[in-house]
Amino acid sequence: MIRATNLTLYVGGTRSGKSEQAEAAALRAGGPVLYVATAETRQNDASMLERIRRHRVRRPAHWRTLECPCRLAEAVAAALEQPPFARRAGGQEPGPTVLVDCVTLWMANILFRLPDPDNPALFEAAVHAEVEALLAVAERSACRWLLVSGEVGLGGTAPDAVSRHYADGLGLANQLIAARAGDVFLVVAGRLLRLEKG
C-alpha cells in the first residue's frame, strides 16, 4: 500500500484554488516535480486554451511537464524511470513529487474515448482500471503524490444521462483516491478544509 503521508488529494469546485494549493505544496517539498497535465488542447476552444495557458505560466520552468490525457499509469511509470525521478540511493536531497492536474479532465477523457459513453457500467469499469493502475504506480514509487480533482456532484442531478454518468464516475474516482490518501483537502475560495476519514 501507499504510505498514507505520501498521497494528498485536493478536491474542490471550478476556480476554487485547488491547483494553486497543490502547486504550493509541490514547491514547499523542494525536490524535482513531475507535473502531469491531463487537459487536451483544442484550437476551437478558446476558454480551455486560456486555462491551459494560465496553468503553464504558473509552473516553474524547472518542473518537468508530462501531457497525458489517458493511460496515466503507463506514462508516469516511464517518466519516473528517468532522471531526476529515478530512485537515488542514500541521497539527502528532497525526494521527487508527482502532481496530477487534474483527475476531472482525466475522467472526461476516459469517458469520451469509450466506444459507448452512454454505458455507465463500461465507464465505471474503466475508471476502476485506470485509477487503480495509477495508484499501483504510486505504491511502487518513492515519490510524494499530489492529485487535484473537481467536485461536480454538489449541484444536483444533471438532466442528461452522459452528464450523470460522468459525475458518478468522477465521484467514484475521487473516493478510490481518497481511500488511499493520507490527506484529503476540500478547497473553497482558496481556503483548505481537511476532510477526516469516516
- Spatial separation of the C-alpha atoms in residues 12 and 190, rounded to whole Å: 9
Which residues contact residue 173 at a Cβ distance below 8 angstroms, ignoring those fewer than 6 apart? 103, 106, 107, 127, 131, 149
Q: What are the grid coordinates assigned to 91, written together?
A: 541521497
The Cα–Cα gap between 196 and 124 comes to: 25
> Hey, which residues does 147 pair with through a beta bridge?
9, 100
Residue from 55, 62, 128, 165 carrying the catalytic annotation: 55
Would residue 128 show up in a list of annotated catalytic residues for this protein?
no
| Burial of residue 93, with CB atoms counted within 10 A of its CB: 0-12 exposed, 13-18 middle, 19 or more buried | exposed
Cite the active site residues: 55
